[in-house]
């Protein structure tokens, strides 16, 4: 189950789930908490996050991309400028709110690859596999 499916299952907004992933200890609104508790059959305090439900060992696309960018040591603004994409788009991809087109992803990889200890091919494969798992 991916984040969108989990949000639908709990009858909450997708953004609530994405925020929860980034800040597991957040205190959501009472109605959101109630919906999630009803959907998973556990109290909010006993539930460590949506990853308990997904039971996946693989990281979603957003996390893989964010880690690659962090490992490169480059700033999001600089990457976006060099790749010719908007900064908000790059942030949205790294937050898991949407996915880049193949062209946009290629441009980002071209910018960050020289700053990583991986070949372009291995970066493409890792991101492609992560994207397929996330969709």
* Domain of residue 95, CATH code: 1.10.260
Same domain, 40 and 65: no
Domain range for 21 is 3-54
User: Structural domain tally of the chain?
Assistant: 2
Crossing angle of helices 102-112 and 120-134, in 10° steps, is: 140
Nearest to 83 by CA among 64, 109, 59: 109
Q: Largest Cα–Cα distance of the chain, in whole Å? A: 48
Same domain, 95 and 79: yes
Structure confidence at residue 76 (pLDDT): 93
Same domain, 94 and 122: yes
| Residue 26 or residue 116, greater confidence | 116
CA–CA distance, 134 with 4 (Å, rounded to integer):
9
Same domain, 128 and 110: yes
Structure confidence at residue 52 (pLDDT): 42
Crossing angle of helices 61-72 and 102-112, in 10° steps, is: 30
Residue 97 is classified by DSSP as: S
Same domain, 50 and 74: no
pLDDT at 32 over 90: no
pLDDT digits (tens, 9 = 90+) for 16-28: 666 665 554 555 6
């Amino acid at each position: 189950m991916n984040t969108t499916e989990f949000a639908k299952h709990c009858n909450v907004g997708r953004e609530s789930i994405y925020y929860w992933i980034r800040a597991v200890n957040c205190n959501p609104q009472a109605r959101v908490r109630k919906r999630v508790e009803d959907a998973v059959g556990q109290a909010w305090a006993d539930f460590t996050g949506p990853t308990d439900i997904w039971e996946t060992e693989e990281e979603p696309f957003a996390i893989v991309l964010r880690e690659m960018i962090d490992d490169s040591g480059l700033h999001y603004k600089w990457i976006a400028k060099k790749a010719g994409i908007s900064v908000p788009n790059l942030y949205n991809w790294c937050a898991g709110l949407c996915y880049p087109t193949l062209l946009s992803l290629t441009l980002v990889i071209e910018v960050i690859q020289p700053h990583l200890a991986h070949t372009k091919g291995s970066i493409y494969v890792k991101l492609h596999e992560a994207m397929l798992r996330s969709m």
